[in-house]
Amino acid sequence: MGDRILIVGTYDTKDDELSYIAQVIRAQGGTPLAMDVSVLGQARATVDWTKHDVAAAGGGTIDQAIAGGDENAAMQLMARGAAALASRLQADGRFDGVLVLGGSMGTDLALDLCAALPVGVPKYIVSTVSFSPMIPPERLAADVQMILWAGGLYGLNSICKASLSQAAGAVLGAARAVEPPRRDRPMIGMTSFGKTVLRYMVTLKPELERRGYEVAVFHATGMGGRAFEGLAEQGTFAAVMDFAPQEVSNHLFGSAISAGPDRMTGAGRAGVPQMVAPGCYDLVDVVGWHPAPEAFRDTPSHAHNRLLSSYLLDAGQRRQVAREIGAKLSRARAPVTVFLPVQGCNEWDRPDGPLSNPDALAEFCDEMRAAMPANADLMELDAHINDESFAAAVLARFDQWVAEGVVPPGKP
């Protein structure tokens, strides 16, 4: 439990709003701490970390930022500094949660700062552009919270006080209630979708837990994949089971539901052992309420709900996916096993399923065999990905890795 809240903003222009947030936190028994990210003006309130501290952490000075005459460059310096300083302060245990206030400039900085903090640290952004399409998903921290700063562009009023006071209470409550991720057992990171399309986690999760591991299953719909990749690259996982790399297909074919170009690379860069399978490789997810993409207008599809629809890839597109997976895995710095269930890779592509295309599946399997890099061990399974035999093969290889010391042993 903690009550020290780092409040970040431009104390030369937003002092009234930032001081009001501090007042609400203090009234609830919390301890506000202040970081000033101004450039031109002077903070009117006493702050714990000045703009000079922030600029120095970013590798520059306020004078340099002003002399450059470019507000964007100046704020990028302050963003680098705020992120670096906040990361160092958090590692030193100096605060328990953070709230960043800003318009578009402050939000740009806030995204960098929050992305620099680990999962489990309460992080809130109060912004005039919250939830705006100008905020790219790849810049959102895995567990960041955003609150619209309604009516708050200039000065305090009863409408914006409602937003600011909620944000103050939310971050303080989160800091007091949060249960940070434990590190008492090795963790396995896994990707999947709901049980209607992929089911292996129903078997694998309890079996891995019985072996003394913690298992985190990530919903591979863009933001879930980003969180998975970020944690993998930080070395959070003892091993990954990346069995739903559909976000690779999404990015390859231009879907907005993307985990970015670095999907399926974080574990490899960090030297984390990887188990990979092509769950739902044959589908591209798109935003359900958008018009159908021109390239998929005459393609078989499945509407999950009003938010999400999936379009079926043809044989040539599937070959592209196989080559992309092979290229990404070729850069891995730890053991890689790729499981290839030749009978299908999601519940809808079974022989009697609505999206079955056995010829295209066979072409994908052929391309996977050709695309596998020398550092990857390809295990073909005469099974469907949702068969129990798939999960059994995964567990057998996992147990082998534990016996060989590739993965640390679990803890009871």
Query: Would the pLDDT of 275 be above 90?
Result: yes
pLDDT band at 25 (very low <50, low <70, confident <90, very high): very high
pLDDT tens, residue by residue, 201-251: 999 999 999 999 999 999 998 889 988 998 999 899 999 999 999 999 999
Burial label for 151, CB within 10 Å (0-12, 13-18, 19+), is middle
The CA–CA distances, whole Å, from 383 to 18, 67, 135, 336, 396 equal 59, 65, 42, 20, 15
pLDDT tens, residue by residue, 71-113: 889 999 999 999 999 999 999 999 999 999 999 999 999 999 9
Check if the beta carbon of residue 82 is closer than 8 Å to that of residue 53. no
Query: Would the pLDDT of 338 be above 80?
Result: yes
> In the chain, pLDDT over 70 holds for what percent of residues?
100
What is the pLDDT averaged over residues 252-267?
91
pLDDT value for 140: 87
pLDDT tens, residue by residue, 133-180: 888 888 888 889 999 998 887 889 999 999 999 999 999 999 999 988
pLDDT band at 1 (very low <50, low <70, confident <90, very high): low
Strand, helix or coil for residue 406? coil
Domains and CATH numbers, the chain: 4-177 (3.40.50.12020), 187-404 (3.40.50.12030)
Span of 30-44, 59-73, 108-122, 389-403 with lowest mean pLDDT: 59-73
What is the pLDDT averaged over residues 364-370?
97
pLDDT value for 398: 98
pLDDT value for 200: 97
Q: What is the largest CA-CA distance in the chain?
A: 70
Mean pLDDT, the chain, rounded, equals: 93
What is the pLDDT averaged over residues 193-207?
94
Strand, helix or coil for residue 381? strand
pLDDT value for 142: 83
Strand, helix or coil for residue 190? strand
What is the pLDDT averaged over residues 347-370?
94
Span of 209-213, 306-310, 361-365 with lowest mean pLDDT: 306-310
**Which H or E run includes 91?**
helix 71-91
What is the pLDDT averaged over residues 50-76?
91
Query: Would the pLDDT of 256 be above 90?
Result: no
Query: Would the pLDDT of 328 be above 70?
Result: yes
Query: Would the pLDDT of 47 be above 70?
Result: yes
Sign, Cα dihedral of 312, 317, 319, 322: negative
What is the pLDDT averaged over residues 367-382?
97
Lookup: tokens for 93:
């245990």
pLDDT value for 346: 94
Report how far Cα 47 is from the mean position of its chain's Cα atoms: 32
pLDDT value for 293: 80
Alpha-carbon distance of 242 to 228, in angstroms, equals 9
pLDDT value for 17: 95
Concatenate the DSSP letters of all residues of 94-132 into one string.
--SEEEEEESHHHHHHHHHHHHTSPTTS-EEEEETTTT-
pLDDT value for 237: 96
Span of 141-145, 183-187, 278-282, 292-296 with lowest mean pLDDT: 292-296
